[in-house]
Amino acid sequence: MATTGASRDAFGTRAGFILAAAGSAVGLGNMWRFSYQASEGGGAAFVLLYIGMTIILGIPLMLAEFGIGRRGQSAPVGALRRVVGPHSALVGWLGAVGSLLILSYYSVIAGWTVRYALEALFVGFPGDTGAHFGAVSAGGSAAAFHVGFMVATLLIVMAGIKGGIERVSLVLMPALFFIVAGLAVWAVTLDGAGEGYSVYLKPDVGDLMNPSVWRAAAAQAFFSLSLGMGAMMTFASYLDRQANLPQSATIVAYTDFGVAFVAGLVVFPVIFSFGLQGAVGASTVGALFIALPSAFDAMGAIGRVVGTAFFVALVVGALTSAISMLEVVTASFIDEFKVPRRTAATAAAILATLLGLLPALDTDVLGLMDKIAGEFLLVLGALLLAILGGWLVRKQMLEELAAGASPWWAAQVPRILAVLRFVVPPIVAAVLFFSARETVTTVVDFFRG
């Protein structure tokens, strides 16, 4: 199916590609990071800005990645070199490094969710969830589950695009949608859910004006849509020219927002119904790993069923995202060093596993890595991609993005590209400025202890 390189892997179906891209997007970011950021950013104000950023920044940037990836028929390093020019290969390497860094701590958090899911299923939730989280999140257990999760990710990536990533996404993604929707329906029945909904859905004008909420919403949109480090570019490189790229980008972006939004409809009512607001703001992981489990524990048998479903959904989301990060690095190794997929994937997984031991042993390191790689590098990557795709290779993009699109979607391409040229760069540049400041402060605080 690929147009170059007889042996290059490819997606078998359109749905397979869309679900794999949605699988990359929907992940811990939708539940762990989104609910935390939303509670920090005043709930509804954050949610509103976040949907705006998804549409205005997310869709054009995703389209730029899709266009460069499909045209380049190569991992980001090679795709950028071919489509834009030799120097931009550096942006591809930046993406590969970013992917590796994010994967390393992402797998640690994913490991915690695996342990929570198994415990929910076999022994139930503990009474003291704060102390329990302390035990789960640092040291030997965290390292062991991190390694286990990485091995599962590696096995899927080794099986290739069609036989591994596509196959797994076609089954797991519908299952995840089903679980999250079911949980939201259940949350309606909770006493006191109303207060949770109102914090989540009623924006505070003061928060809407706060630049730090803007920065957080934009950065969260990039993280959640897997943009800025070449994951979407890598997946699109396995497509042929029949795929409708603008339509696919739109579907993936709305799906990702939809899952985050619906997950909020679960998290907020549960937290308010059990009066757990305090446990949420306390740490990046408070909502998911401390407040929610303590609510599930208080609910008895039902809590165990619901809690198991919740953590299984998290594991599924984490897995389909982690495979996309490992794929970026794997594909870069395959295309640049001409090594077999198995070798490339194994090398990438070993690197990510070793790097991940640091955040596994110290959650402060995890927060630091999330700031640097999960926020700053993504925003930087997004800015560079907007400039490359929107300005340097605009003609090729106009042509590439219309190829395979239906007439209506093809007609949207120039509009979306105009947004990519004129609207995206100034906003992302402003976000980058605030994000750089935040990141420096975080790094300085970290080293001062």
Is 231 one of the binding residues for ligand PHE (CB under 6 A)?
yes
What's CA 399's distance to the chain center, in Å?
Answer: 28
Which of 101/142 has CB closer to ligand PHE? 101
Residues 6+ apart with CB under 8 A from 413: 63, 246, 398, 401, 402, 405
Which of 228/404 has CB closer to ligand PHE? 228
Using the contact rule CB under 6 A, the part of the chain among 22-30, 67-75, 159-167, 196-204 near ligand PHE is: 22-30
Closest CA to 296 of 309, 283, 277: 309
Give the Å distances, CA to CA, from 395 to 77, 91, 148, 318, 400: 20, 20, 45, 36, 9
User: Which residues inside 309-338 make contact with ligand PHE, applying CB under 6 A?
Assistant: 321, 324-325
Residues 6+ apart with CB under 8 A from 289: 112, 116, 129, 133, 136, 137
Using the contact rule CB under 6 A, the part of the chain among 20-28, 152-160, 266-274, 301-309 near ligand PHE is: 20-28
Is 248 one of the binding residues for ligand PHE (CB under 6 A)?
no
Judged by CB under 6 A, the number of residues near ligand PHE is: 15
Task: State the DSSP code for 285.
Answer: T
Q: Tokens representing 117? A: 């899911």
CB of 381 to ligand PHE, least distance (A): 10
Using the contact rule CB under 6 A, the part of the chain among 107-115, 163-171, 226-234, 282-290 near ligand PHE is: 226-234
Is 223 one of the binding residues for ligand PHE (CB under 6 A)?
yes
Closest CA to 314 of 102, 114, 21, 36: 114
* 8: amino acid identity, one letter: R
Using the contact rule CB under 6 A, the part of the chain among 28-36, 39-47, 234-242, 364-372 near ligand PHE is: 28-36
User: Which residues inside 68-107 make contact with ligand PHE, applying CB under 6 A?
Assistant: 102
Q: Is there a contact between 390 and 382 (Cβ–Cβ < 8 Å)?
A: no
Which of 102/295 has CB closer to ligand PHE? 102
Using the contact rule CB under 6 A, the part of the chain among 23-31, 266-274, 422-430, 432-440 near ligand PHE is: 23-31
Is 25 one of the binding residues for ligand PHE (CB under 6 A)?
yes
* 130: amino acid identity, one letter: G
Among 27, 41, 196, 389, binds ligand PHE (CB under 6 A): 27
